[in-house]
Amino acid sequence: MTSSDHITSVSTTRGDIVRVGQLYRDRRLDNVRTLRVDGLSGVGKYAKASCTVIRQNYRGETTHPMRTTTPSVARLVSSAFVLVTDDREQIAGVIAEHVVETITQGEDRAVLIDCSCGAEVAGTLGADDESFIGSTQRVMAAHIADMVAEATGRDGTR
């Protein structure tokens, strides 16, 4: 780790500003990755952005590779990428990936939900005045909130 890990924004010679936390998407129709800027290093034309590939849309399949990639800042602001400025679009896309597939009820009010994203979401059914559906919705809401926080690079609000 060097002091450059603490840079939170870099401006290019063209005047574009790249900030930690921003999302960039490939400007193409397929194999579209969404990159979250986690760190910046270097200056001028040597500036690099440490990014995590938080989403990848390839032939209709969306995955969350969560691998790192380190493009130059110049490439990030080039026509190869689009800055994702509308978080709502991003968030709506994340939410759409989490649908209840099966619900398994265990002992002691435990409940295990298979989510369409592949995760097994564990929770507990609420008190008697909370319906079964209400309980599962609450468990899923917490899971989706975590996923949105992860995808947008923000801490959870819970």
Residues that bind Zn ion (CB under 5 A): 98, 115, 117, 119
64, 88 contact by CB (below 8 A) = no
Minimum separation from the CB atom of position 148 to Zn ion (A): 11
Closer CB to Zn ion, 119 or 141, in the complex:
119
Closer CB to Zn ion, 47 or 115, in the complex:
115
Minimum separation from the CB atom of position 98 to Zn ion (A): 4
Minimum separation from the CB atom of position 147 to Zn ion (A): 6
Dihedral (C-alpha) 49, 65, 58, 35: value to the nearest 10 degrees? Answer: -20
53, 67 contact by CB (below 8 A) = yes
Minimum separation from the CB atom of position 56 to Zn ion (A): 16
Closer CB to Zn ion, 74 or 121, in the complex:
121
Closer CB to Zn ion, 80 or 141, in the complex:
141
**Cβ partners under 8 Å of residue 51, min gap 6:** 24, 35, 36, 37, 38, 68, 69, 70, 71, 76
